[in-house]
C-alpha cells in the first residue's frame, strides 16, 4: 500500500512539472499563439505555398503578416483573395486548424471569410 502511494505522488509531481513548463512556454510566447489562432479564425481556407510563390507575392507588393516573424523558424503568412492565390502554382490546401502540417509550413496563404 505504501508503495502505491509513493507512485501516485511521483505521478502527481511529474504532471505538475509538465504543467508548469507548459505555462512558462506559453508566457514566454507573449501572446503569439493567441494572435496566430485569431488569424486562423478569420480564415476560410489555408494553403501551403512554396518559396518561389511566396517570393513572387512579396515582389508583387504583398506584405506577410507580422505574426509569422514571431515564430522560430519564421513563417510567411499572407492574407490573399482567391484571385491572388490562383497565380500560385504550388498551392496545396490544408485544414484551417492548429495541426502539424500547418505549423511545419514555411509559407502560408490564407483566404478570409467573405
> Are 58 and 65 contacting, i.e. CB atoms less than 8 angstroms apart?
no
As a whole number, mean pLDDT of residues 46-68 equals 94
Positions of E strands within 72-114:
76-80, 92-94, 107-112
Confidence tier at 1 by pLDDT (50, 70, 90):
low
Instruction: Give the percent of the chain with pLDDT over 90.
Output: 59
Residue 94: what pLDDT?
94
Whether 28 shows a pLDDT value over 80: the answer reads no
User: pTM here?
Assistant: 0.73
Strand pairing category for 76-80 and 107-112: parallel
Domain boundaries, the chain: 1-30, 31-112
Whether 26 shows a pLDDT value over 90: the answer reads no
Beta bridge partners of 80: 111
Residue 99: what pLDDT?
86
Amino acid at each position: 500500500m505504501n508503495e502505491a502511494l509513493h507512485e501516485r505522488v511521483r505521478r502527481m509531481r511529474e504532471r505538475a512539472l509538465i504543467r508548469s513548463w507548459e505555462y512558462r512556454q506559453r508566457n514566454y510566447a507573449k501572446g503569439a499563439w493567441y494572435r496566430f489562432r485569431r488569424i486562423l479564425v478569420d480564415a476560410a481556407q489555408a494553403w501551403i505555398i512554396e518559396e518561389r510563390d511566396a517570393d513572387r507575392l512579396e515582389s508583387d507588393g504583398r506584405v506577410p503578416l507580422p505574426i509569422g516573424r514571431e515564430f522560430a523558424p519564421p513563417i510567411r503568412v499572407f492574407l490573399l483573395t482567391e484571385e491572388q492565390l490562383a497565380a500560385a502554382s504550388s498551392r496545396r490546401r490544408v485544414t484551417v486548424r492548429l495541426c502539424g502540417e500547418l505549423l511545419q509550413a514555411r509559407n502560408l496563404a490564407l483566404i478570409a471569410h467573405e
